């Protein structure tokens, strides 16, 4: 009788079959699909590089030979390193597209959210530089479906300023139709707004001083309307109050139609509204506040605007913070270009899988559980709780 665990993993491994093997066919001992599956499982269990992946695999040999095609036993660390160095990052990511579509469809059905917020932001792996060989630290831009807990794509760029060129490439990789795309001020560019609209999505883009005149016009317009409590415009207002951990935070969101004197209005594809988010925090009697301004293709619906603004920070809190604190990604000293990009993607994919697991434990505890329990590991990787 077939091992049900083998059958479950075979369904996952099918996603890798179209990936071209970069290795020479001479003396090829380990199937590419099995090498990738082991790498992903090891990272779920806490591994952070080829050496740790190989070490975990050796310790789990009895389990792995039952659930994967391993005719010559467990690969050595050099196999994992060579494979992850040789695979082109864009091709490597694309082989997971079908799996991600399935995870996204399941998350949409479970949450009931039909217009998800897809947050786009950059992150630097600060210790991944190699100054001796002229390699800067890895800076990548990724898409995070905050309400689903899914990383949908990643593009590496040489410097942070190159986010402007990396974001359109990233948006072409991901199915954005019907979503709300949120980006910080770095990505508030006409070409990016146009790409989003072409992809049949909406946008909420942050404004800062780098937008010059437009930023100031938006500020002036909102302040002017605020003087008579927005009596002259069709504005929406929404406020939330949260308390916890000794802090009380009040967030006020206001959205109003775009002013017709906004500089370059006609060159911003789909632009319909502007907005402001004011956050006031009180802790130990000390008050701090923060004000952010936005432009958006959304029609006036302030609760939807507020959801988009608030969900954007999910990429920092739910993704980047976890990668740094739990995965220790910021401390990684992997310096080979393709290897570090592929490891960064496996980190994000494994984080997505852990967040889909219905258990209420922290991501850190779930990773430990993947290392301790083969059954728990299979629950996470095949999306089953049986």
DSSP 112: -
pLDDT in tens, the chain (386 residues): 456 566 678 888 888 888 999 988 877 899 999 999 999 999 999 999 999 999 999 999 999 999 999 999 999 999 999 999 999 999 999 999 889 999 999 999 999 998 999 999 998 877 677 777 767 777 899 999 999 999 999 998 865 557 888 999 999 999 999 999 999 998 999 999 999 999 999 999 999 887 778 999 999 999 999 999 999 899 999 999 988 878 899 999 999 999 988 888 999 999 999 999 999 999 888 999 999 999 999 999 999 999 999 999 899 989 999 999 999 998 888 888 899 999 999 999 999 999 999 999 999 999 999 999 999 999 999 875 44
Give Cα separations from 77 to 82, 261, 381 (angstroms). 9, 61, 22
Q: Which residues contact 161 (CB under 8 A, 6 or more apart)?
A: none
- Is 153 within 8 Å of 90 (Cβ atoms)? no
Helix (DSSP H) and strand (DSSP E) numbers for the chain:
16, 9
Q: Is 301 helix (H, G, I), strand (E, B) or coil?
A: coil
Domain 92-326, CATH homologous superfamily name and number: Transposase Inhibitor Protein From Tn5; Chain A, domain 1 (3.90.350.10)
Sequence ranges of the domains in the chain? 6-87+336-382, 92-326
Contacts of 110 (CB under 8 A, 6+ apart): none
């Amino acid at each position: 009788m077939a091992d049900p665990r083998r059958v479950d993993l075979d369904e996952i491994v099918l996603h890798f079959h179209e990936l071209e093997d970069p290795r020479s066919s001479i003396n090829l001992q380990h199937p590419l699909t099995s090498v990738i599956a082991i790498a992903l499982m090891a990272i779920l269990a806490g591994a952070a590089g080829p050496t740790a992946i190989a070490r975990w695999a050796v310790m789990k040999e009895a389990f792995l030979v039952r659930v994967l095609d391993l005719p010559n036993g467990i690969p050595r660390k050099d196999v994992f390193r060579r494979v992850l160095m040789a695979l082109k990052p864009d091709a490597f990511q694309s082989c997971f597209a079908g799996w991600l579509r399935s995870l996204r469809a399941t998350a949409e059905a479970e949450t009931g959210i039909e217009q998800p917020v897809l947050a786009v932001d950059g992150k630097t792996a600060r210790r991944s530089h190699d100054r001796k060989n002229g390699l800067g630290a890895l800076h990548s831009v990724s898409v995070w479906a905050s309400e689903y807990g899914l990383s949908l794509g990643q593009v590496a760029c040489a410097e942070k300023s190159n986010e402007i060129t990396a974001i359109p490439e990233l948006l072409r990789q991901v199915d954005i139709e019907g979503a709300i795309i949120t980006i910080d001020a770095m990505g508030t560019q006409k070409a990016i707004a146009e790409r989003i609209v072409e992809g049949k999505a909406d946008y909420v883009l942050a404004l800062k001083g780098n937008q010059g005149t437009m930023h100031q016009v938006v500020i002036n317009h909102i302040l002017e309307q605020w003087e008579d409590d927005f009596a002259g415009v069709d504005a929406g207002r929404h406020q939330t109050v949260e308390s916890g951990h000794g802090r009380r935070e009040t967030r006020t969101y206001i959205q109003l139609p775009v002013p017709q004197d906004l500089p370059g209005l006609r060159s911003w594809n789909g632009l319909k509204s502007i907005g402001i988010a004011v956050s006031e925090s009180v802790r130990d009697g000390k008050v701090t506040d923060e004000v952010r301004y936005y432009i958006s293709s959304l029609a006036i619906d302030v609760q939807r605007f507020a959801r988009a603004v608030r969900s954007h920070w999910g990429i920092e809190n739910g993704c980047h913070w976890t990668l740094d604190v739990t995965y220790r990604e910021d401390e990684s000293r992997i310096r080979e270009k393709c290897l570090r990009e592929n490891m960064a993607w496996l980190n994000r994919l494994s984080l997505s899988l852990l967040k889909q697991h219905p258990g209420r434990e922290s991501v850190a505890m779930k990773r430990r559980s993947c290392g301790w329990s083969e059954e728990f590991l299979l629950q996470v990787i095949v999306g089953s709780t049986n």
